[in-house]
Amino acid sequence: MGQLGNIPSSWNTDSEAFILVSEHRPNLEPNLEADDIPVINLAPFFDVIGVEAEGENWSAIGAVVEHSKDPALRSLVAEIGNACAEWGFFQVVDHKISPELLRKVMEAAKGFFSLPLEEKKKIGRSFDQHLGYNDSELTKNTRDWKEIFDWARLGFMEMPESVDSENRSGRYSNTTLKSYNQWPAKPDGFREACETYTEAVVHLSGLLLGLISVSLGLPFDILHQYFDKDNTIRARLNHYPHCPLANMVCGVNRHIDSGALTVLAQDSVGGLQVQNVVLKDVSRYSQLFLFC
């Protein structure tokens, strides 16, 4: 295949590992159905809740949402319910995460991924360390055309030490491995930008989780206890280098995320694809995907 160039040097030695079988290669044609993706405008929520929405008193926020007769807010809740039932993902706008904060974390990401490979690998992930930098992640046993940097909101994560089967329904061990955040020395302000952005997205996720619950006829704060008390929140930066094999590889192969809720900030470069599978029974939901 020859030298691919302008990518991490290690990828040249294993370039065949990125190639997907033909049925799973990316569709580079324009998506004519993209305009049908639900767009959820959160402005009616913030108009009704006011400054209370800046805090995390979920029961107080819930009391307002659940009893509000405001037609715009009721319509918003219904839109979220329909988006979850019919799509499983939606775009969020007017979410109150500032463009300046988003710019800072994207600039921080750009600065980090521009570092020499040996510098990035100083905080590389390993079998026993699940947080940090990686440029060799597999999805569906195929290399992803990406570099990543992972960290946990609380500074560490605990993962099962082993699993008895190769699928998600396998039995996990009672013993765990604890991994701690690894922060690079460069670029300046990288850690601060990442941690500040994480808190903003976590707060947004809490608000969305509550609105999703209300759309199901449940109390706003019924699910928060399962996320506030356990260290289950992880953040990631993805970098997709220029790809000379764009018709044969994917930045991330087809997959289902393991968490309950994924929030993705996408830059001006397109390429995100999601599969719309209508679920007949809302109770079957295992994961929701949002982007803003």
pLDDT tens per residue, range 40-56 = 999 999 999 999 999 99
Taking the CA atoms of residue 110, residue 111, residue 114 and residue 119 in that order, the dihedral angle to the nearest 10 degrees is -130
What's the pLDDT band for 71 if we cut at 50, 70, 90? very high
Q: Got the DSSP string for 57-74?
A: -HHHHHHHHHH---HHHH
Question: How does pLDDT run across 145-203, given as a tens digit for each residue?
Answer: 899 999 999 998 877 666 555 555 555 556 677 889 999 999 999 999 999 999 999 99
Under 8 Å CB-to-CB from 183, ≥6 apart: which residues? Answer: 123, 151, 190, 191
Q: Is residue 292 part of a domain?
A: no
User: Minimum mean pLDDT among 82-86, 119-123, 204-208, 270-274: which range?
Assistant: 270-274
For residue 87, give both structure tokens. 């799509």
What's the pLDDT band for 290 if we cut at 50, 70, 90? low
288/247: higher pLDDT: 247
Under 8 Å CB-to-CB from 238, ≥6 apart: which residues? Answer: 146, 147, 148, 251, 252
Model pLDDT, residue 204:
96
Helical H runs in 87-168? 99-113, 117-120
Q: Is residue 10 part of a domain?
A: no
Q: State how far the Cα of 231 lies from the Cα of 152, in Å rounded to an integer.
A: 8
Q: Is residue 62 part of a domain?
A: yes
Contacts 24+ apart (CB under 8 A), 198-201: 198/151, 198/153, 198/233, 198/235, 199/153, 200/97, 200/98, 200/101, 201/97, 201/235, 201/263, 201/265
For residue 234, give both structure tokens. 């992880």
Q: Is residue 180 part of a domain?
A: yes
Residues in the chain: 292
Torsion angles phi and psi, residue 128, rounded to 5: -95, -5
Whether pLDDT at 214 is above 90: yes
Q: Is residue 18 part of a domain?
A: no
CA dihedral sign, ordered 27, 33, 37, 39? positive
Question: How does pLDDT run across 262-278, given as a tens digit for each residue?
Answer: 999 888 777 777 777 55
What's the pLDDT band for 138 if we cut at 50, 70, 90? confident
Q: Is residue 55 part of a domain?
A: yes
* 251 close to 139: Cβ distance less than 8 angstroms: no
Model pLDDT, residue 280:
45
Strand partners, 178: 158
- Residue-wise burial string across 16-25, b where 16 or more C-beta atoms lie within 10 A, e elsewhere: eebebeeeee
Whether pLDDT at 2 is above 50: no
Mean pLDDT of the chain: 84
CA dihedral sign, ordered 88, 89, 94, 97? positive
Whether pLDDT at 286 is above 50: no
Q: Is residue 131 part of a domain?
A: yes
Model pLDDT, residue 251:
83
* 194 close to 235: Cβ distance less than 8 angstroms: yes
Express as a percent the part of the chain with pLDDT over 90. 50
CATH of the domain at 234: 2.60.120.330
**DSSP β-ladder status, 142-143 and 138-139:** antiparallel
Indicate the helix (H) or strand (E) that contains 239: strand 234-239
Q: State how far the Cα of 198 lies from the Cα of 200, in Å rounded to an integer.
A: 5
Model pLDDT, residue 28:
72
Model pLDDT, residue 137:
87
CA dihedral sign, ordered 16, 274, 44, 81? negative
Containing structural domain, residue 221: 35-270
Q: Is residue 25 part of a domain?
A: no
| Overall domain count for the chain | 1
- Collapsing DSSP to helix, strand or coil, 204 comes out as helix
Whether pLDDT at 230 is above 80: no
What's the pLDDT band for 1 if we cut at 50, 70, 90? very low
